Copies of this chain bind each other. A is one copy, B any other.
Amino acid sequence: MSDLPGEFALIARHFRPLAAPEALGLGDDAAFLAPPPGRELVLSADAMVEGVHFLPADPPDLVARKLLRVNLSDLAAKGAAPLGYLLTVAAPRATPDGWFAAFATGLAADQARYRIGLYGGDTTSTPGPITLSLTILGTIEAGKAVHRTGARAGYGIWVSGTIGDAALGLAALQGRLDDPDGTLAARYRLPEPRLGLVRADLVAACLDVSDGLVQDLGHLCRAGLVGAEIEAALVPRSPAARAAGPAWLATCLTGGDDYEVLMAVAPEHEPALAGASTTVPLTRIGRFVAGPATVRVRDETGAAMPLDHGGWSHF
C-alpha cells in the first residue's frame, strides 16, 4: 500500500495550495495557532446547502466565495478582522474534479482579497446535495467587540449599502423577475462583507442582515429589550431594486442574503457614523423605541405595513 488514496489526492490537488502556514500544508490532523497578543479570537460558523443556499447552476467559484463571505460578514458585524478558516465539504462521489478545482479557485481569490488562509477541514462523500460548512476565525482588540445587545430607545437604526438586491437576484435567477444587466443576480451570488466599518466607539449593537431585514432587526430588539420602528421609504434600495416596482418592496424588507450590517447608534454618535465610510453608503432607516421587542414597518403615509413574515426560517 503506497498510493495516495483518492480522497487525499483530491485534497492535495485542490486544497493544500490554500493552506495557511499554521495548517502545516494540511499534512497534519490539526492547525496550531497563537493569536496576536492583546487580541481576542472571534469565532463563527455557517453552513450552505445546494438547493437551499445556492443553486445547482451557480458557478462553484462564486459558491466558494459566498461561503467565505457570509462568514466574513459575521466578523464584520462584530468589528473583527479576519484571520483564517476551517472548511468541511460533503459532495456526491460523482462530483467532477473540475467542480473542486473551480471551488478552490474561488477560495484562493478571496483568500488573497481578505488576506486569510485555510486552517483545515474535511472532505467527505454524501448521497445528498453538496453541503458546505465553514468556521471563520478573526481577532479583535480585547473588549472591543460589538454585540447584539446594546440597542436603547432613541438610538438610530442604520444599515450599510442597499437592502433587497439579493432576494430579488434569487427571484431573477428563478425566472420570476427581469434582471437585464445581472446586477441583482450578482448581489445574490457574491455578497460584500462590510469589514472595517463597525467600530465599538460608534456602534452600540450590530448584526449582519442574512435572513431578512425585519427578522434580523427583531434579534437586535430582543437582545436590547426595545422595540423598533422603521420607515419603508428610508430603507435604501438600489436603482435595480427600485425598478422592480412596489410589488417587490416586501421581498426587499424580508428577503435575506443582504449581508449588510444593521446597527444601533446612539444619537450623539450618528453624525460621526454618517461620515464613517467613503466606500459604502450608511443610512438611518428608523429608531429604536421603548416597548415590547417588536418591529413596526411604516409606509409613506405612516400606516403600519402588513408583512406576512419577517424573514427566512429553516424550521
Contacts and interface: CB of A to CB of B under 8 A. Distances in A.
Interface of A: 1-2, 4-8, 10, 24, 27-35, 40-49, 51-53, 74-75, 77-78, 80, 86-90, 93, 119-129, 131, 133, 135, 137-138, 140, 142, 145, 147-149, 207-208, 211, 214-215, 218-219, 222-223, 292-295, 307, 309-311, 313-315
Given A5-B311, A52-B124, A129-B128, A47 B207 contact: no
B30 A78 contact: yes
Copies in the complex: 2
Contacts of A140: 32
Contact of A33 (B41, B46, B74): B41
Q: Which 10 A-B pairs have the closest CB atoms?
A: A128-B128, A133-B133, A5-B313, A47-B88, A1-B310, A135-B135, A2-B294, A125-B314, A45-B86, A30-B44
A129 B50 CA distance: 12
A74 B128 CA distance: 26
Given A40-B32, A295-B2, A126 B127 contact: no
Contact of A49 (B48, B119, B124): B124
26 contacts: A1-B218, A1-B309, A5-B310, A7-B315, A8-B219, A8-B313, A10-B315, A27-B223, A29-B208, A32-B78, A45-B87, A45-B121, A46-B88, A46-B122, A47-B89, A47-B90, A47-B131, A47-B133, A52-B127, A53-B124, A90-B131, A93-B314, A93-B315, A122-B133, A133-B133, A135-B135
